[in-house]
Amino acid sequence: MSATPGGGVRTLRVPGRHGYAAEFSPYLPGRLACAASQHYGIAGSGTLLILDQHESGLRLFRSFDWNDGLFDVTWSENNEHVLVTCSGDGSLQLWDTARATGPLQVFKEHTQEVYSVDWSQTRGEQLVVSGSWDQTVKLWDPTVGKSLCTFRGHESVIYSTIWSPHIPGCFASSSGDQTLRIWDVKTTGVRIVVPAHQAEILSCDWCKYNEFSPFHASVLASCSYDFTVRFWNFSKPDPLLETVEHHTEFTCGLDLSLQSPTQVADCAWDETIKIYDPVCLTMLA
């Protein structure tokens, strides 16, 4: 494992681990979680990496291994040390970064890979939602040892599940069935079905700040199988602001910092995690 600051880009290389998800801590500036897998998530184990930023680069604070690939990670909204990951064996894992070992708890009810997990951002509830290749979404209370309910309706694998940051009890999901669906925990039936694409829908997200990014009203970032991260400003006739090409494999995880208006984290299948300040965001700051 090696870390390099290289040209303003803080990089941590984790040999044998391919990144799937990166998420900044909502509590601690500079702390980042990354869910990674061996063998591109096809076989082997997974690792949850907890990283801290320093002037010399990225340092590993703690890591936790799991016996199957890890595909997503979400921070608790009521405890700065707690995270949840999901994996290829159909389980969710609850971790505490204040402890050297774990997990604290394992939730296993899905029958296929769990590809997405998200902790509710509305303070009135502490619920986790998970989406699986078994075509179901499950609702969890981390203090309870089993799921609260199961949502059915998608006709293919589920790639993404994410809570609304504004509407309590509401979440969205996207699937290989080419639909985006909106759900309410008060009922196990779907509220809205949107035929959003004519292909598999790999991800979905809500507008968290009544705008695209935490600091810039019309700026959006994307990452892709083409190895790049792109920054967009949709208030401009030519929206592409910048293309960052610093990965050599599929770029799967991407997050904009809540604390810094210029900072971005990403991770890729090239075994690296990077934190950096794109030129376009620096100019906007």
Determine phi and psi for 79, rounding to 5 degrees: -150, 120
3-state SS, 226-250, equals CCCEEEEECCCCCCEEEEECCCCCC
Amino acid making up residue 135: Q
Take residue 253 and report the two structure tokens written for it: 């995880």
pLDDT reported for residue 37: 97
Task: Give residue for tokens 């590993």.
Answer: 60
Neighbours of 158 (CB within 10 A): 29
Sheet holding 31-37, edge to edge: 18-24, 31-37, 46-54, 57-66
pLDDT reported for residue 168: 85
- Which regions in the chain score pLDDT beneath 50? 5-6
pLDDT reported for residue 156: 96
d(CA 244, CA 255): 14
Closest CA to 75 of 255, 207, 281, 280: 255
Measured CA distances, 188 to 149, 226, 242, 285 (Å) = 8, 37, 42, 44
DSSP 142: T
List, for residues 39-73, the tens digit of each pLDDT value.
Answer: 999 999 999 999 999 888 899 999 999 999 999 99
pLDDT reported for residue 259: 85
Render 44-102 in DSSP notation, one character per residue: S-EEEEEEEEETTEEEEEEEEEESS-EEEEEE-SS-TTEEEEEETTSEEEEEETTSSS-
pLDDT reported for residue 6: 47
167: left (phi over 0), alpha (psi -120 to 50) or beta: beta
List, for residues 162-198, the tens digit of each pLDDT value.
Answer: 888 878 888 889 888 988 898 999 887 788 898 877 7
What integer best gives the mean pLDDT of the chain? 89
pLDDT reported for residue 210: 62
Whole-structure pTM value: 0.88
Task: Give residue for tokens 């968290």.
Answer: 208
Strand, helix or coil for residue 14: coil
pLDDT reported for residue 165: 80
